Chains A and B, each alone.
Chain A
C-alpha cells in the first residue's frame, strides 16, 4: 500500500560513470517512471563506483538491495555463460538499427533470452548497444596478420582472450586504470573499447591508430529482480515494461549522438590521429574467418543451449537484414 506522501523507493545501479550511455538510460528511466507514476515512485540512480563492481551489482539485484541494474555480458557470462554470445566477433549486423530490432523486438529471441535470465532470478528488461568496440593501436591493423605479436589489453574473459589469440595477438589482461600508462610505456600495444570510453580515458592520446573494424558492438543489458517484478501490482509491471519499450529507440539515438560527439572531440584534440573508419569487405572477411574457431570454443563452453542460441541469433539477424534489403 503505497501512500502518496511517502513515495516508494526504487534503486537503479549502473556499471558506468555519470555522463555515460548507461547513465543516460537510467536518467530517462527515472524521469519516465516518476512522471508516469505521478510521483508515487522515486528512482535513485547509483553510478559506477558507488555500490560496487558489475559482479557485485548483479548480486545486489539478487539480494533485492537494488531493484534495477545494468548487467553486461562480459560479467554476466560468469553466471549465464550463454550471454557471452554477445562477445563473439562478426556475429552482428553492421547496422545497429537492425541489431536493436533483433535484440529487443523479435519475440522468439526475447523468449529465449528471458528464459536464460530467469534461471538466475533475473528479469531481462532490454538489450542495447553502447556503440562499436574500436581498436586503438600503435600500428595500423588491416588484416589478422597485422596483429602478430601485438600485445592487446582485453577484459579477462576466455572468449575475448581466445579471439585475440586467434588473430595472432598476445592478449594481456590488465586493470582498466592501468591501461593508459601501460600504453604510454609500451607495455601493451593496443586496447579495445567503445568511442566514449576511449575519449573519457584518453586512450587516443597514447595510441596512433583508431580502427573501426565493426567486429563487435559493446552490448549491455538492463535487468530487474524477477521476484520483485512479479510481486508488483499489474499496473506497475505495465509501467515498467512501457517505459523500457520507449527507451529502446531513445537509447539508440543517444548512443549514436554520444559516440559521434566524442569522436569529433577526439579528432579535435588529436588531429594527427590516424582513423580507419572502415575495413574493406575482404579485410573483414579475413577477420571473420580467423574468428570462427572462437565460436567452437563458445559452443564447448555452453553446450547445446549455446549452440541453439547462436544459430537462432544468426538466423534472426539474417532475416532482419534480408527484410531491410527488400
Chain B
C-alpha cells in the first residue's frame, strides 16, 4: 500500500509538471501522514539538511564552478580546435571530433550539462553546416556529453560515493576505461552514420594550423593530468581536487588566456550558486524521500518479496536488476535523485554477494549517464532544449541509436569487469 501511494503521487505530480522537488516531498509527506501519524514530518526537514551536509559534496559546487569558468572562457574552444585540426578531415571527422572533445572536456568537468553547453554550443553550427541532420547532431551532443560523467571528475560518482560509502578516488579511476569504451563505440557509429548519410569529408588542415592548435590547447590539456596525477600520487583527495580545478580554471582563463577578468567571477559564481541550489534542493528532497522509504522498510519488501533478489541470486541477475532499475528510474526522475533513492536499496545486496563495490558504482554511473539523455525526463534533453532552442520531440528523435550503444556498453561492463577495474587495480595495486 505504502509503495503504491508513493509511486502514484510521484507519477501524477510529475506528469502535471510540478517542479521535481514537489512530487518527492509530497509523496514522502503523504506516507508519514497516512501510515505513520506518530512520526513528525519535521523529520523531512532534518533529512533535507542532512542530505546536503556530507563533506564530500562540497566538491560538487566546486566542479560546477570550474566548469562554469571554463565555459565562459576559452578552454573548451581551444580543445575543440585541437581535436578538429587532427581528426576533422577523416570520414565522419566532425562528429568524431565532437565525441572526442566531449570526452576531453569531460575530463575537466564533472557535469554532462556543462559539456553540452561548452562543446555542443560551438560545435552544433559546424555540424549542421557540414550537412549532418539536426536530430543526429543534437542526439550526438547530448549523448557524447554523458561521457563526462564516466571520465573523472564526475558529480554522479561523488554522490554515489557519498551515499554508498564507496571510495570516490577508486570510482574516479575506474570510470576511465568505460568512458573510453563508450567514446570508441560512438566514433564507430559516427563513422558508419556519415557514410550512410553521404556527408563529404572536410579538408585536411596543414601542419602549421595543427601546431598552433596544439600549442593553444596545451594548458587546458594539462588540467586532467594535474587532477588525476594529484589524486593518484596522494597529494590531494578526490574531493580536494575540486578546489584545485577551480584554481586551475581561474588561473588559466584569467592569467594566461586573459579572456576573463577577476570582475567576471561574482557573476560566474552566481550562476554556479544557482545551479548548485537547483541540484542540492533535489539532493535534499531525495534524501528525505529515501529516508521515508527506508523507515517504512520498503527496500526489504522490494528486494525480498517483489524482486526475490538475494545475495545468492548470482552475479548476472543482481547486476542486470541493478542496471534496469537505475535505467527505469532515470526515465522519470533526475539521475541524482535516482542515485539517492536506489543506492541504499540495491548496494547492500550487491556487496553481500561479494561484487566489487567500485564495479557496481561504475555500472550505476553508466546507467545514470544514459538516463540523463533518455526521454521522457532527461536533464540533458532539457539543457539542449534551452541552449539550442529546439522543441522536445525534435531533440529526442535522434537518440535511440546512441542509447542502444550505451546499453550495449553497459552489458560489456557487466560481462568484462576489468574494463573498469583494470586501471583501478593498477593504481591501487
Contact = CB atoms under 8 A, between A and B. Distances in A.
A–B contact via C-beta, under 8 angstroms: yes
Interface of A: 44, 46, 49-53, 56, 59-60, 63-65, 174-178, 180-182, 184-187
Contact of B233 (A64, A65, A185): A185
B39 A184 contact: no
Interface string B160-181: 0110011111100000000000
A50 B294 contact: yes
A205 to B, nearest CB: 10
B56 interface: yes
A76 to B, nearest CB: 17
Contact of A181 (B43, B54, B55, B167): B167
A176 B178 CA distance: 27
Nearest to A48: B165
Given A51-B291, A51-B294, A181-B170, A174 B43 contact: no
A169 to B, nearest CB: 17
Given A50-B295, A56-B46, A181-B428, A175 B169 contact: no
Contact of A185 (B47, B168, B232): B232
B234 interface: yes
B234 A180 contact: no
B293 to A, nearest CB: 10
B202 interface: no
B165 A177 contact: yes
Given A53-B50, A65-B40, A175-B55, A181 B169 contact: yes
24 contacts: A44-B297, A46-B295, A50-B295, A53-B50, A56-B46, A56-B47, A59-B46, A60-B46, A64-B38, A65-B39, A65-B43, A175-B54, A175-B55, A175-B56, A177-B161, A177-B166, A178-B167, A181-B169, A181-B170, A184-B428, A185-B169, A185-B234, A186-B234, A187-B236
B42 interface: yes
A44 B237 CA distance: 38
Interface string B215-246: 00000000000000001111111110000000
B42 A63 contact: yes
A56 B50 contact: yes
B234 A60 contact: no
B385 to A, nearest CB: 37
Interface in B136-193: 161-162, 165-170
A50 B291 CA distance: 7
Contacts of A63: 40, 42-43, 46
Contacts of B38: 64
Nearest to B343: A49
B376 interface: no
A51 B50 CA distance: 11
A51 B429 CA distance: 35
In which size bucket is the chain B interface?
35 or more
B291 A52 contact: yes
Interface of B: 38-40, 42-43, 46-47, 50, 54-56, 161-162, 165-170, 231-239, 291, 294-295, 297, 344, 428-429
Contacts of A46: 294-295
Given A56-B46, A60-B43, A184-B428, A177 B295 contact: no
Given A56-B47, A178-B169, 6 more contacts: A44-B297, A63-B40, A65-B39, A178-B167, A182-B237, A187-B234
Given A51-B291, A52-B47, A52-B50, A174 B39 contact: no
Contacts of B169: 178, 181, 185
A180 B167 CA distance: 8
A177 B428 CA distance: 15
Given A51-B294, A56-B50, A187 B42 contact: no
Given A59-B46, A177-B165, A185-B233, A51 B170 contact: no
A287 to B, nearest CB: 28
B167 A177 contact: yes
Contacts of A180: 167
Nearest to A18: B348
B201 to A, nearest CB: 46
A176 B295 contact: no
A270 to B, nearest CB: 14
A178 B237 contact: yes
B234 A50 contact: no
Contacts of B168: 177-178
Closest 7 CB pairs of A and B: A185-B234, A187-B234, A177-B165, A181-B169, A181-B167, A50-B294, A186-B234
Contacts of A184: 428-429
A184 B42 CA distance: 41
A182 B169 CA distance: 9
A182 B428 CA distance: 10
A181 B174 CA distance: 13
Nearest to A188: B234
Interface centre among B38, B43, B231, B233 (most CB of A within 10 A): B43
A186 B237 CA distance: 11
Contacts of B167: 177-178, 180-181
Contacts of A187: 234-237
Contacts of A181: 167, 169-170, 428
Contacts of B234: 182, 185-187
B237 A51 contact: no
A64 B39 CA distance: 8
Contacts of A177: 56, 161-162, 165-168
Contacts of A64: 38, 40
B327 to A, nearest CB: 24
A51 B290 CA distance: 9
A52 to B, nearest CB: 6
A185 B47 CA distance: 33
Contacts of B39: 65
Nearest to B40: A63
Contacts of B47: 52, 56
B283 to A, nearest CB: 15
A49 B344 contact: yes
Contacts of A60: 43, 46
